[in-house]
């Protein structure tokens, strides 16, 4: 891989003007000639992986943990220093959000030994690993639930060892409840009958959750958890959800103080998302910025740099604690390649996200512009196989869940990883530069923001970010045409361009002696 990158860069250097070399400095040298300033804290570039569809090493059509391990160098070279593994536990479904055993690895994915090796190899590369913790519900195939239902059938009422693990009500045939077959009892199942809701008020359940967290944090050295469906813990009751999250966060930090926790609070209001930060949980996904209707996509399509900068300030004023978790799409949503019109806008949305505070989350395949299969937006279609190779799509390739059908070439609008690695102007290399810029300048993720927009152009977002002794200025041109600004170096407190992110890699920004800064269309520059 390193040799390939070196060859690529030599070719690029022959094509591009000498002044644009800085664009590729951040990854041109296998020995890391450009100094990165990666801080080992909770502000990371996270890569979300659906193991089933990522990389298959045993030729059974299903991705596996060894496949993730095999691709760790790729993940690191892309600038990611954190991995979120979607559920890896035994489950009757392809998505595995209905867990049968919280203490095991699904055999389709490998063994506990494979998992431990993945953790070790990731840590050796400075990559942290978090896993999904699904405690709103279990699988209806979980032994605890089956035993609890058997007890009701045999005794006519809930009881036994696991009777309080779930929420059983007599003669309660209401929305969000399912029948215990052969009885007049119903159990809460807000998502579907195969996912019975756990009784989170049960001390036995809470003790079990602590045991599960300790098992993975201590015995298997994971670095934290992604919490699924936190708004459904107590449906419609934000206060109780926050209280439970506070308890869970405290228990997790008692086990491993440095562990990182990010929650899925799927609400469309910054105010409501912010309420969940009262729990002390490190991060919650920033849904107001994500998807086709989120602020990132909206401002990019509107070419409104002014509004983008104002929104960044609003986020800073709103979220006064915790670590933001911006993202564009994930396993539940459309991919950016599907909802952003054209390659230029796919890149620009990624660039804007990369310049945001917090820890960014990128869904596997997003970095090559992957779509849903055939444009279909069904759940399995959002989890199609990663396309690694150009000529042989079956090498390491996975089946489309849940059908036993290989991926369709028409599902991919943009080229494979193999092809995009060789193209300096590809979506992949754009993502790589964007993530590496975050690694190079800690202020991007952690800095206090000052909006420097002077009203001269609505296309321009101009921010100062300051973290400790580093102060940088980020300028984003959302216009599809070149923009020229006049900047006073002395007044600005910056003297040079130190980072660049271009849609068109044959163009470059110039900062002339007279103070005019010429920005190519849809470009991002960092001044210092």
The pLDDT tens digits of the residues spanning 452-479 come to: 988 889 999 999 999 999 999 999 999 9
Place of tokens 């600038």: 79
Q: Is the dihedral of CA 417, 418, 419, 424 positive or negative?
A: positive
For residue 332, CA distances in Å to 372, 379, 387 come to: 11, 7, 20
In this prediction, what percent of the chain has a pLDDT beyond 70? 89
Confidence of residue 15 (pLDDT cuts 50, 70, 90): very low
More confident residue, 38 or 141: 141
Contacts of 11 (CB under 8 A, 6+ apart): none
pLDDT above 80 for 20: no
- Asked about 228 being catalytic, the answer comes back as yes
Note the pLDDT of residue 40. Answer: 87
In this prediction, what percent of the chain has a pLDDT beyond 90? 83
What average pLDDT does the segment 81-101 reach?
Answer: 97
Note the pLDDT of residue 328. Answer: 98
The pLDDT tens digits of the residues spanning 369-413 come to: 998 765 566 788 888 889 998 876 567 777 777 654 545 566 688
Architecture, CATH, for domain 448-527: Sandwich (2.60)
The pLDDT tens digits of the residues spanning 184-207 come to: 999 999 999 999 999 999 999 999
For residues 142 and 428, give the distance between their C-alpha atoms in angstroms, rounded to a whole number. Answer: 40
For residues 294 and 292, give the distance between their C-alpha atoms in angstroms, rounded to a whole number. Answer: 6
What average pLDDT does the segment 143-165 reach?
Answer: 98
Contacts of residues 317-322 at CB distance under 8 Å and 24 or more positions apart, as own/partner, are 318/270, 318/271, 318/274, 319/270, 319/273, 319/274, 319/277, 321/277, 322/277, 322/281, 322/282, 322/283, 322/284
Candidates 477, 341, 370; CA nearest to 428 is 370
pLDDT above 60 for 222: yes
More confident residue, 412 or 67: 67
Note the pLDDT of residue 410. Answer: 62
| 132 and 226 Cβ atoms separated by less than 8 Å | yes
Beta strands 497-502 and 82-85 are unpaired
pLDDT above 90 for 432: yes
Q: Is the dihedral of CA 401, 407, 408, 410 positive or negative?
A: positive
Q: Could you tell me the two tokens for 94? A: 């392809």
Which of these ranges, 1-5, 304-308, 434-438, has the smallest mean pLDDT?
1-5
Q: Which residues, listed in sequence order, are joined to residue 518 by a DSSP beta bridge?
A: 484, 510
Q: Could you tell me the two tokens for 240? A: 């109780």
For residues 522 and 475, give the distance between their C-alpha atoms in angstroms, rounded to a whole number. Answer: 11
Catalytic residue among 264, 282, 479, 508: 264
The pLDDT tens digits of the residues spanning 329-369 come to: 999 999 999 999 999 999 999 999 999 999 999 999 999 99
Q: Could you tell me the two tokens for 507? A: 């163009």
Domain-wise residue ranges, the chain: 37-42+58-87+106-130+211-440, 143-188, 448-527
pLDDT above 70 for 4: no
Catalytic residue among 29, 41, 121, 228: 228
The pLDDT tens digits of the residues spanning 272-310 come to: 999 999 999 999 999 999 999 999 999 999 999 999 999
What average pLDDT does the segment 90-101 reach?
Answer: 96
Note the pLDDT of residue 36. Answer: 67
Note the pLDDT of residue 219. Answer: 98
For domain 37-42+58-87+106-130+211-440, give the CATH number.
Answer: 3.20.20.80
pLDDT above 50 for 17: no
To the nearest whole number, what is the mean pLDDT of the chain?
A: 90
Candidates 455, 476, 454; CA nearest to 522 is 476
Q: Could you tell me the two tokens for 443? A: 């202020």
pLDDT above 80 for 439: yes
What average pLDDT does the segment 222-240 reach?
Answer: 97
Place of tokens 């912010």: 274
């Amino acid at each position: 891989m390193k040799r390939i990158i070196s060859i690529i860069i030599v070719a690029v250097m022959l094509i591009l003007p000498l002044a644009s070399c800085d664009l590729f400095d951040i990854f041109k040298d296998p020995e890391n000639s450009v100094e990165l300033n990666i801080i080992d804290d909770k502000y990371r570039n996270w890569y979300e992986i659906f193991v089933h569809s990522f990389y298959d090493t045993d030729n059974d059509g299903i991705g596996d943990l060894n496949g993730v391990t095999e691709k760790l160098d790729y993940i690191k070279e892309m600038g990611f220093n954190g991995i979120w593994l979607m559920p890896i536990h035994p489950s009757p479904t392809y998505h595995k959000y209905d867990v049968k055993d919280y203490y095991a690895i699904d055999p389709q994915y490998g063994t506990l030994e494979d998992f431990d090796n993945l953790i070790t190899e990731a840590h050796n590369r400075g990559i942290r690993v978090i896993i999904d913790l699904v405690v709103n519900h279990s699988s209806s195939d979980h032994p605890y639930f089956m035993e609890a239902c058997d007890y009701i059938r045999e005794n006519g009422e809930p009881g036994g060892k696991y009777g309080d693990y779930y929420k059983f009500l007599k003669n309660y045939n209401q929305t969000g409840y399912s029948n215990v077959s052969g009885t007049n009892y119903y159990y809460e199942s807000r998502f579907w009958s195969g996912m019975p809701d756990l009784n989170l008020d049960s001390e036995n359940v809470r003790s079990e959750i602590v045991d599960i967290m300790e098992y993975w944090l201590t015995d298997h050295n994971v670095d934290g958890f992604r919490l699924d469906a936190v708004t459904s813990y107590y449906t419609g009751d934000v206060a109780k959800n926050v209280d439970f999250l506070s308890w869970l966060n405290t228990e997790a930090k008692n086990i491993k103080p440095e562990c990182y926790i990010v929650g899925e609070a799927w609400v469309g209001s910054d105010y409501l998302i912010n309420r969940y930060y009262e729990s002390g949980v490190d991060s919650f996904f920033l849904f107001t910025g994500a998807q086709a209707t989120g602020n990132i996509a909206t401002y990019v399509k509107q070419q409104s740099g002014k509004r983008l900068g104002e929104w960044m300030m609003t986020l800073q004023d709103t979220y006064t604690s915790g670590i933001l978790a911006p993202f564009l799409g994930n396993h539940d949503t459309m991919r950016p390649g599907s909802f952003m019109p054209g390659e230029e806008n796919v890149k620009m949305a990624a660039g804007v996200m990369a310049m945001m505070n917090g820890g960014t989350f990128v869904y596997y395949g997003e970095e090559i512009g992957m779509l849903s299969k055939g444009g279909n937006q069904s759940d399995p279609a959002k989890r199609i196989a990663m396309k690694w190779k150009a000529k042989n799509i079956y090498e390491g390739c996975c089946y489309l869940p849940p059908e036993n059908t290989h991926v369709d070439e028409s599902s991919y609008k943009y080229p494979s990883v193999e092809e995009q690695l060789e193209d300096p102007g590809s979506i992949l290399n754009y993502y790589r530069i964007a993530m590496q810029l975050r690694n190079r300048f800690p202020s991007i993720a952690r800095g206090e923001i000052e909006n420097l927009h002077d009203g001269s152009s609505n296309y321009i977002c101009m921010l100062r970010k300051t973290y400790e002794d580093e102060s940088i200025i980020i300028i984003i041109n959302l216009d599809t045409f070149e923009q020229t600004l006049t900047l006073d170096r002395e007044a600005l407190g910056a003297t040079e361009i130190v980072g660049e992110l271009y849609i068109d890699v044959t163009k470059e920004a110039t900062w002339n002696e007279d103070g005019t800064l010429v920005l190519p269309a849809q470009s991002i520059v960092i001044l210092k």
